[in-house]
A and B are shown apart, each in its own frame.
Chain A
Amino acid sequence: DIQMTQSPSTLSASVGDRVTITCRASQSISSWLAWYQQKPGKAPKLLIYKASSLESGVPSRFSGSGSGTEFTLTISRLQPDDFATFYCHQYNTDFPTFGQGTKVEIK
């Protein structure tokens, strides 16, 4: 299985901050990477697919980059609604895997 490692596990930030989360794959996954946002008690919400494509309806302050084994999710100016847990997800094969999650907390 392809292992996905996110960093950091927890991030404390303030409204208006620029936030970056990193995801590393144990082997190359080309650009087959997605990012999700999950709030407590809710299902995950797709933000980014194919490493850098913004899902319809997702605010443009979210962006993704990377290819191969290293990827980043950036929130340009953190908003109150953005405090949540974020997961990366590789779908390079029929056996997808997720990162362990990054919780973005209020500083």
Chain B
Amino acid sequence: EVQLLESGGGLVQPGGSLRLSCAASGFTFSSYAMSWVRQAPGKGLEWVSAISGSGGSTYYADSVKGRFTISRDNSKNTLYLQMNSLRAEDTAVYYCAKAAEYMTTVTTFDYWGQGTLVTVSS
């Protein structure tokens, strides 16, 4: 059974940093791209970042480029999102999501974690 478990969310001041983790199980982690998708309170879904299965290719939304870094440790089956220079508008539930198709980043998402809430406020 595929499971994705996010952690690392919390309250942080504007300008601060936070690192999210997503522990994966139930599939061959290194064979699938992974993404982070966020949802601000009461709002819709926004794709944030993606990483290929090997970790060699990364992609970012313009809203986070230069501030967020996606990475993965395939030996630990874990996905990360390092978030720096956080702003109030980064406040959201952050979901990790698994690529539905093998060995491509251009795909939909078939499994999602339960989400972790990041609140940026002074």
Contact = CB atoms under 8 A, between A and B. Distances in A.
Interface of A: 1, 32, 34, 36, 38, 42-46, 49, 55, 87, 89, 91-101
A94 B109 CA distance: 13
A92 B106 contact: yes
Given A36-B45, A96-B47, 15 more contacts: A1-B62, A34-B108, A38-B45, A43-B95, A43-B112, A43-B115, A44-B112, A46-B110, A87-B44, A94-B59, A95-B47, A96-B35, A96-B50, A100-B44, A101-B44
A46 B115 contact: no
Report whether over half of chain A's contact residues are helix, strand or loop; otherwise say mixed. Answer: loop
A43 B47 contact: no
Interface of B: 35, 44-47, 50, 59, 61-62, 95, 100, 105-110, 112-115
